Amino acid sequence: MRRFVAGLVVSMVGLFAACSSEPAAETGALLTLYGDIQESNRGPLDPLTEPLFNSFGLEVGEGFAVSAAQLARLPQHIVRTDFPAGSEIREFRGPLLRDVIALGVPSGELAVVTALDGYQREIALGRIQAHDVILATQMNGEPLPMGGFGPAMLVWPRQSDPALADMSDDDWLWGVIAIELR
């Protein structure tokens, strides 16, 4: 009995340790904000351990690493729309891009968004404020996969926001990994 109780205590401690491993997951960045931001939780780029940022020449000084858990805790929005343009309607879900960017407390007026294939777009913060563009992390109820649109994708509500009705797919970045504020 005593051995059983001891075993139970050990496994409960193990369970507690497993549960409390959340902070470690918190530090893994799904997305890195950098540039003109007033909030930071990480230091400058380490070329040896951040080869993709390094090869893209991203000038990460102080940065703000946003975890998947942090994105999931922001208010979630659903955008039903076609992507690529003209294809079937799919349901994208994730936080508003402006809420994500606000985590870093930006002071500039431009977001430079980088995807994992090196594709990059400059998007005025004014447009991000004016339109309910989301940083989607899910499509049709499933997390966005790597090799598909993952880990995250900019999705604009062009079906419901008349000002976006005719927009091209240029600013619909899939594979988003970093956003510089300028």
Ligand X SMILES: Nc1nc2c(c(=O)[nH]1)N[C@H]1C(S)=C(S)[C@@H](COP(=O)(O)O)O[C@H]1N2
- For 24, 81, 116, 167, the CA distances from 53, given in Å and listed in that order, are 21, 31, 9, 29
Q: Work out whether 134 is an interface residue with ligand X (CB under 6 A).
A: no
Neighbour count for residue 26 (Cβ, 10 Å)? 15
50 binds, among ligand X, Mo ion, none (CB under 5 to 8 A by kind): none
* Amino acid code (one letter) for 166: D
Q: Shortest gap between Cβ of 176 and ligand X (angstroms)?
A: 7
Number of residues that bind Mo ion (CB under 5 A): 1
In the bound state with ligand X, the residue whose beta carbon lies nearer, of 69 and 117, is 117
Q: Shortest gap between Cβ of 172 and ligand X (angstroms)?
A: 5
Strand ranges inside 96-137, DSSP E: 110-115, 120-124, 134-136
Asked if 33 and 103 touch (Cβ cutoff 8 Å), the reply is: yes
Footprint of ligand X on residues 34-63 (CB under 6 A)? none
Q: Work out whether 172 is an interface residue with ligand X (CB under 6 A).
A: yes
Q: Shortest gap between Cβ of 110 and ligand X (angstroms)?
A: 18
Closest CA to 119 of 32, 37, 60, 177: 177
The piece of 1-9, 106-114, 137-145, 164-172 that touches Mo ion (CB under 5 A) is 164-172
Q: Work out whether 170 is an interface residue with ligand X (CB under 6 A).
A: yes
The neighbouring-strand residues paired with 35 are 181
Both structure tokens of 93 = 């879900």
Contact residues toward ligand X (CB under 6 A) are 84, 115, 117, 119, 169-170, 172-175
